Amino acid sequence: MAYDYPAMAATAQKVSKYLLAKGKIAKVKVARNNSAIKAVEINDIIINLEDLLKSLSFPGKVTDLSSADIQSISGKYKAKLVEIVKPIPSASLTKGEKFFFLNTFTEKGSVKTKALTPSELKLDTSDYTTLDSFDRAVNAGISNLNVPTEVQSAMLELFKNVSKNTTKTDTILYSATTKNALEKLKPDDRQAIGKDFGEVLSLRWYLTQPHSKGWTKFGFEEGSNADLVDYYVYKKVK
């Protein structure tokens, strides 16, 4: 969708002043990669944006944005499009004006540093010679982790996506259940999964690709992984 960024920036300025007058701390946020894009920013726990606007007597219609638009406007934060549906004379706002709304509140994650590594999953205690034995070990390791259920569910779904892949591909698309599981996580917990559990996913993917043909066993370094080594794979080389 095409947006009139200058007009929306002017509206964002007026909306921010209106919210401040209502006692809600707000300011104009400039997008990092495009200075023409400006949004109304608050930093607060919001369950429902429509309810927040109603509580502030703000006549706004809220619309979801595409992932590409959110990335352009805010990166990792939650952004919405708001259209004014009734004039607000006191703020010089007219019906039909639009602006981006951005909430920069980030809920702290529940997962501690390195709580999802191969070592914590007990995957570094032996070599593996079959995919089945590895899959069983990974699933058991996830189930035994002392982390929130939603984190375990997301890890299990991610591993299922990767382990079911049988094609040559550099990109494995998320299933609907995996997307749903990831959306329930706090941003910090998603980051922890990518950083620590990504080694397991990477190894499982590698073992299904043509360039891994001939492997005989694989695994992880015991304890803390060696510098620059995520996993090891032994192969027969002709």
- Residues whose CB falls within 8 Å of the CB of residue 4, separated by 6 or more in sequence, listed in order: none
Which two structure tokens, joined as six digits, stand for 230?
A: 């995520």
pLDDT digit string (tens) for 160-207? Answer: 999 998 888 888 888 889 988 888 888 788 889 998 999 999 999 999
More confident residue, 182 or 135: 135
Contact 47, 65 (CB under 8 A): no
The model carries a pTM of 0.58
Which two structure tokens, joined as six digits, stand for 34?
A: 């495009």
CA distance 71 to 68: 5
Domains of the chain, residue spans: 5-103, 131-235
The predicted structure's pLDDT at residue 226: 56
The predicted structure's pLDDT at residue 86: 95
Average model confidence (pLDDT) across the chain: 88
